[in-house]
Amino acid sequence: MAEINGIAHIQLCVSNMARSIAFYEPLLKTMGLVPVIDDKDNYYYCVGGRTGVAITPVHREHSDSEFKQGAVGLHHVCFRARSAADVDEIYGVAAGLGAVTIREPEEGAYAPGYYSTLFEDPDGIRIEVNFVPGKGLLEDR
C-alpha cells in the first residue's frame, strides 16, 4: 500500500501580493519557515518544519473575487506548533500584523492538551496554529 509522508506544500492565492507578503513574510519567518523562492510579484515560497507554503496572485479573471470560508475549496490552514508558547508567540505576531482574530489562544477539546489560536490573513483566509502534546492524533506509522 502506498503511504504519504505529510503535505509537501500549501499554495494560497491572494488578491494583493504586496499586502499579503507584508503579512506572510514575518509570520512565516516567525514559524521558522525560510524563503526559497522570493519573487514578491509572482511566487513567494517558504519551507521549514517539513512544511512548504507558497503565496501567489490570483489569476486576473478572479481579481475581484474574495475568499469564502465554507465554499468549495480551502476551509482553513492549520500549522502544528512545537509548544503552547509558540502558539502564543505566533498569535502575537499575527495580531501585530493586523490579523483579524477569530479565537485568541485557548485550550480546546479536540485532543488532550490541545491549544490553538485562529486568525485571518488580509484576504480572510483562516490560519490556525495549534499545539498538541506528544503525537496527538497524528501518530508516525
pLDDT in tens, 48-60: 999 999 999 999 8
Q: Can you give the pLDDT at residue 135?
A: 65
64 is a domain residue: no
Q: Is residue 91 part of a domain?
A: yes
Predicted local distance difference test score (pLDDT) of residue 141: 44
Residue 98: inside a domain: yes
In a domain, 68, yes or no: no
Q: Which long-range contacts (CB under 8 A, 24 or more apart) does 78-84 make?
A: 78/116, 78/127, 78/128, 78/129, 78/130, 79/31, 79/51, 79/127, 79/128, 79/129, 79/130, 80/129, 80/130, 80/131, 80/132, 80/138, 81/31, 81/129, 81/130, 81/131, 82/131, 83/131, 84/115, 84/131
Supply the mean pLDDT for the chain: 92
Within-domain flag for 120: yes
For the stretch 1-48, pLDDT in tens is: 888 888 899 999 999 999 999 999 999 999 999 999 999 999 999 999
Look at strands 77-80 and 126-131 and give their pairing: parallel
With respect to residue 139, please indicate whether it lies within any of the assigned structural domains: no
| Structural domain span for residue 108 | 10-59+76-131
pLDDT of residue 67: 87
Higher pLDDT, residue 61 or 45: 45
Angle formed at CA 119 by CA 20 and CA 16, multiple of 5 degrees? 15
**Domain tally, the chain:** 1
Q: For position 40, which CATH number holds?
A: 3.10.180.10
Q: Is residue 84 one of the residues assigned to a domain?
A: yes
54 lies in some domain: yes
